[in-house]
Amino acid sequence: MTIILVSLLFAALLGAILALIIGVAAKAFAVESDPRIETVTDMLPGANCGGCGYAGCADFAKAIVEGVAPPNDCPVASAEATVRVADYMGITSEEKEKVVAVVRCSGGISDTVRSPYNGVEDCRSAVLVAGGAKGCDYGCIGFASCARACPFDAIEIRDGLAVVHPDLCVGCGKCVDVCPKDLIILTPAAVDVHVYCNSPEKGAAKRKVCKTACIGCRKCVKASDSEDQMLIDGFLIATNYNNPPLPDLVEKAACPTTALRLATQHAAGAYEGVSK
């Protein structure tokens, strides 16, 4: 009993003495740093995602205070938060268009021809071995490298397919860097219509391995309001993000393979099981 008491007392005493020493030293040797850095850090989202190119929010805040970086370099902060930081610093900040990531593939594992793959469950590893479990050489491998890279849990793997939730995505671009198939692009958040296919193969070849590939039938191009809303590149059609079509194009075009989708409905799972 005595030993326990003495140990406790000793540990408490030691802790108190050390705390006192450090506390006194911290006060005595305090180094003045710009208090605005801390205030700006508190105003930033605190996600430390590195989307701005700095080593975290505190580092970015330092750059803002030093006038090296504009507040709107933060892809996560809302427009109001950016304006608040700019007002605090007494500078004006231009509003930056919000972007979200889009995985340009709609082929779930049940939609594509399967080839066996028993290796490491990581897209970049799968690419080294044989390209994963799907028949298409251009599609999403579905081993969640992007989902693991996402600091905001905005990517869900559903039926072996990476699906971005546009409401959670902040457009930091971390997933873009890790995707070995370069499938993910950052698109303006205001545009909802996307072609969820990235295969440049001929229509028939694509159809052979994937039920939801874009076969280049041009129904969407004909249904669109003006010529260049949808861009044709060989057998692949893509949204023209500089002149985007309205969301009702999806209904008007009635894409035969459902490769043309609304990002919001795609995320909500509206297209599951509808492929022909």
Partner 1 sequence: MADNILAITIGAILVNNFVLSKFLGICPFLGVSKKLSTALGMSGAVVFVMTLSSLVTSLIYKFVLSKSFTINGTAVNLSFLKILVFIVVIASLVQLVEIVLQKFSPPLYQALGIFLPLITTNCAVLGAAELNVQAGRGVLASTIYGFCSALGFALALVLFSSLREKLDLARVPVPLQGTAIGLITAGILAMVFMGFSGLV
Strands 184-188 and 99-103: antiparallel
Q: Which of residues 108-137 bind partner 1 (CB under 8 A)?
A: 128
In eight-state DSSP terms, residue 246 is P
| Identity of the residue, 141 or 214, whose beta carbon is nearer to partner 1 in the bound complex | 141
DSSP for 129-179, written as a single string: HTS-SBS-SSS---S-HHHHH-TT--EEEETTEEEE-TTT-----HHHHH-
Question: Phi/psi of residue 112, each to 5°?
Answer: -115, 155
- Binding to partner 1 (CB under 8 A) within 27-46 occurs at 29-31
Applying CB under 8 A, among 16, 21, 79, 91 the residue interacting with partner 1 is 21
Question: Does 15 interact with partner 1 (rule: CB under 8 A)?
Answer: yes
12 belongs to the binding site for partner 1 (CB under 8 A): no
Q: How far is the CB of 28 from partner 1 (least distance, A)?
A: 8
Q: Is 274 in the site for partner 1 (CB under 8 A)?
A: no
**Segment near partner 1 (CB under 8 A), from 8-16, 40-48, 188-196, 263-271?**
8-16
Q: Cα–Cα distance between 12 and 35 in angstroms, integer? A: 34
From the list 91, 104, 95, the residue with the least C-alpha distance to 74 is: 95
Shortest distance (Å) from residue 19 CB to partner 1: 8
Residue listed under structure tokens 């990002």: 263
User: Which chain residues interact with partner 1 by CB under 8 A?
Assistant: 2-3, 6-7, 10-11, 14-15, 18, 21-22, 25-26, 29-31, 128
